[in-house]
Amino acid sequence: MAEPFKSVCISTRLRRATRKANAIYDHAMEKHGITIAQLSLLRTIRRLERPTLNQLAQATELDASTLGRNMRVLEKAGLTRFEPGQDKRTRVLSLTEKGDAITDRANHDWDRVQSDLKSRLGPGGFDTLFQLLDALDPDNEGRST
Amino acid sequence: MAEPFKSVCISTRLRRATRKANAIYDHAMEKHGITIAQLSLLRTIRRLERPTLNQLAQATELDASTLGRNMRVLEKAGLTRFEPGQDKRTRVLSLTEKGDAITDRANHDWDRVQSDLKSRLGPGGFDTLFQLLDALDPDNEGRST
DNA sequence: CCATATTGTCGGTATATACCGATAAATGGT
DNA sequence: ACCATTTATCGGTATATACCGACAATATGG
């Protein structure tokens, strides 16, 4: 037996839930050779249309150095490319054809998992969850919704 | 401006919220030289009273190999020790005096942050959040609360 | 225009986390 | 007692993530 202990610490419970949710999405992504974190990046790059590392960092609220490293993995896998921008400092990100194709295919599996989890949350659960997660962030002080 | 993009992906939003909550707790832990993840481990070890790695893994739902590595960090910091158990395979974990003292002191700061975040969630928010996080986990099928 | 600040990226270092395979020790069935 | 299985841990490897300091390039105030 020895059931898992239900910690009362918000961080601990969030980390646990995140690990588990990640694992579920990751397993669905396996056949595409990517992780859910990587799919998220691919989609954001596509949406932003040739963003710089910093722009991607602002959109995702990830550290730029983290993204630099994450992007190297995607680059090595041939899913993204890094081209010089106007500014001689900046490098501009975009998806390769392969990256584009994989993103499309992975999106189908993402849909499945997302729907499953959404129904687990019950009616209104999805919106409530996101509202509560946002409430934890002091940066989201003023404007809700 | 370039506001952060509110992804609709449950995993992405969970990861983001977890990063931010971790950062808040971690900053409060800084003065004690530990992270919130480490405080969580110290408390669990204390509660379980000389658990093995595997017992700790079951309680935390973390991979045993992950815990092995996490524990080495705490051991090197002199907060925990690893002693031989009855079974010649197993090693039993416990807090050193220093680890015990730091856990006590860190708990005070944990309290502060936990209360702050709890009040951010509003009335009933805390319970609702945990209930929703649990609902995401297929392992929690049968028994709720 | 130049000195200073700011911006964009990268490398070093560190924690948190997982999966897989090795290895050693215990357990169980015959 | 013996062999097969299961258990406990560890090491290799990989991703995700952050902070800090270096460095180059751009922007800005006087």
Q: How is chain B split into domains, by residue range?
A: 16-111
DSSP conformation class of B47: H
A35 touches strand D (CB under 7 A): yes
The pLDDT of residue A141 is 82
Cβ-in-10-Å burial (0-12, 13-18, 19+) of A63 comes to: exposed
For residue B2, the model assigns a pLDDT of 66
Determine the pLDDT at residue A31. Answer: 96
**Is the confidence at residue B50, as pLDDT, over 60?**
yes
Amino acid at B73: V
User: What does the pLDDT read at residue A140?
Assistant: 86
| Average pLDDT rounded to a whole number, residues B119-124 | 96
Say if A91 is an interface residue toward chain B (CB within 8 Å).
no
d(CA B60, CA B44): 8
The tokens of A15 are what? 């980390």
Classified by CATH at the fold level, domain A34-111 comes out as Arc Repressor Mutant, subunit A (1.10.10)
Contact A109, A28 (CB under 8 A): yes
List chain A residues with CB under 8 Å of B62.
19
Angle, vertex CA A71, rays to CA A88 and CA A97, nearest 5: 90
Q: Given B55, B60, B135, which is nearest A125 (Cβ)?
A: B135
A54-96 tens-digit pLDDT: 999 999 999 999 999 999 999 999 999 999 888 889 999 999 9
The pLDDT value given to residue B53: 96
Residue from A133, A134, A144 to probe the interface with B (highest B Cβ count within 10 Å): A133
Task: Find the residue closest to C23 using CA and C1' atoms.
Answer: B89
Name the residue among B7, B35, B13 with its Cα closest to residue A18. B13
In CATH, the architecture of B16-111 is: Orthogonal Bundle (1.10)
pLDDT score of A87: 87
- In chain A, residues with a C-beta closer than 8 Å to the C-beta of B129 are 10, 129, 132-133
| B82: confidence class by pLDDT, cuts 50, 70, 90 | very high
Beta strands in chain B (DSSP E): 80-84, 91-95
Would you state the pLDDT for residue A2? 66
The pLDDT score that the predictor gives to residue A41 is 98
Amino acid at B29: M
Query: Is A37 an interface residue toward B (CB < 8 Å)?
Result: yes
CB atoms within 10 A of CB A94: 16
Closest residue in B to A58 (Cα–Cα): B4
Residues in B closer than 8 angstroms to A132, CB to CB, are 121, 125, 128-129, 132
> Among all residues of chain A, which has the CA nearest to that of B17?
A133
Q: Which residues of chain A have pLDDT under 50?
A: 144-145
Residue B143 has pLDDT above 60, yes or no: no
CA distance, residue A76 to nearest chain B CA (Å): 23
- Tens digit of each residue's pLDDT (9 = 90 or more) over B1-37: 567 899 999 999 999 999 999 999 999 999 999 999 9
- Does B101 contact A at CB distance below 8 Å? no
Look at residue B102 and tell me whether its pLDDT is greater than 70. yes
